[in-house]
Structure 1
Amino acid sequence: MKVKKIISALALTLAIACAAVSCKSKISDADLKTKVEAAISAEHSDISVDAKDGVITLSGTVGTDTEKQELEKAVKNADEKNVKSVVNNIVVETPQIETSTDDTDLISKVTDATKDFPTVKADVKDGVITVTGSLEQARVQTLKMALDALHPKKVDMSALTVK
């Protein structure tokens, strides 16, 4: 009878010990959010963080895709044990390229860009470059890229004759 009581007591003690070990303390959503915000806030205070059951949701804007990926990695590294997944809703905003509308400035740049194309004439009006003349097929793309690099409103090459 004593042996049965001892075995029962040991079994109960073992069950309680196993249950206590298997219960892990779960971090609250608020604490996890605070931990993640601390990990990314040094450089990105404009990124919003939300935490729900170990799933972190990021929102906001950054300048490059690399920044977006680095933020996601930083979130995962902030608490590898409690961050189950990351929903990355960050938008990458590319800077807008300013178009050149100053015809005087654009004319001098167009003259310089077309100096190697003697059979081509380029006129500028209201930020639009109109190209006339003739040019070999192999050189059309080079001319177009040079003129596009000046950031005009438009490059119109419809009057150009391609040989």
Structure 2
Amino acid sequence: MKKTLKMAALALMVSMTAVSCKKKVSDADLTSKATTVVATYPGTTVEVKDGQAHLSGVFATQADKDAAIAALKAVEGVKDVHDMATVAPATPAVEVNVVDAAVLQKVSDAIKDIKGVKAEDVAGVLTLTGTASSADARKVKESVDALKIGKYDNKIVVK
């Protein structure tokens, strides 16, 4: 019985020693592994101290940032990820102003009888150009105003 107890104690001591002798991964090795993980995200860096990964830089999207954090947490030996990174603001869509083709056609039809005057899209603004007598210029203005199209640029030269 004493022999069995000694053997059990020895086995317990050997197993505890084996567990405590488990090889610890160095921060340098973890930093190398973590850097490989975030290398696919330009503008980002990671540093590991005491098993804690410190992520910094700018990600293109929140999804990229979340994926990088998940990948870092999956690196064996990384205990936690400290997120110090940001997400680049979305670039606003460039608004291109264009006069609706139907509106342009309606105005052109309304002024077709007045020679020397035309309607066109100039930088997204309906613009009336050309030369006309004062009576014709008044007719153009009344015709266009009657369409209730809103704002337009009247550059008709009255002769």
| Structure 2 counterpart SS, 1:67 | helix
- Structure 1 residues 45, 93: CA separation in 2 closer, same or farther (over 3 Å shift)? closer
- Please say if residues 38 and 45 of structure 2, whose CA atoms lie closer than 8 Å, have aligned partners that are also in contact: no
- Structure 1 residues 10, 49: CA separation in 2 closer, same or farther (over 3 Å shift)? same
Structure 1 runs of 4+ aligned residues shifted over 3 Å read 6-9, 95-100
Please give the residue correspondences for 1:35-114 in structure 2 after superposition, counting only pairs within 5 Å.
Answer: 35-41=33-39, 43-77=40-74, 79=75, 81-97=76-92, 107-111=122-126
Q: Displacement, 1:16?
A: 2.3
So what's the TM-score if we normalise by structure 2? 0.54
So what's the TM-score if we normalise by structure 1? 0.53
- Structure 1 residues 34, 82: CA separation in 2 closer, same or farther (over 3 Å shift)? same
Indicate the structure whose relative CO is greater, using CA pairs within 8 Å and at least 6 residues apart. 1
Structure 2: segments with no counterpart, 5+ residues:
96-120, 128-146, 154-159
State the percentage of identical aligned residues. Answer: 26
Q: How much is the aligned-residue C-alpha RMSD, in angstroms?
A: 3.0
Number of aligned pairs?
Answer: 108
Q: Which amino acid aligns with 2:84?
A: N
Which whole-Å deviations, capped at 9, do the CAs of 1:33-60 have from their partners, x for residues lacking one?
A: 111111221x224311111222211000
User: For 1:64 and 1:45, how far apart are their aligned partners in 2?
Assistant: 12
In structure 2, the partner of 1:135 is: none
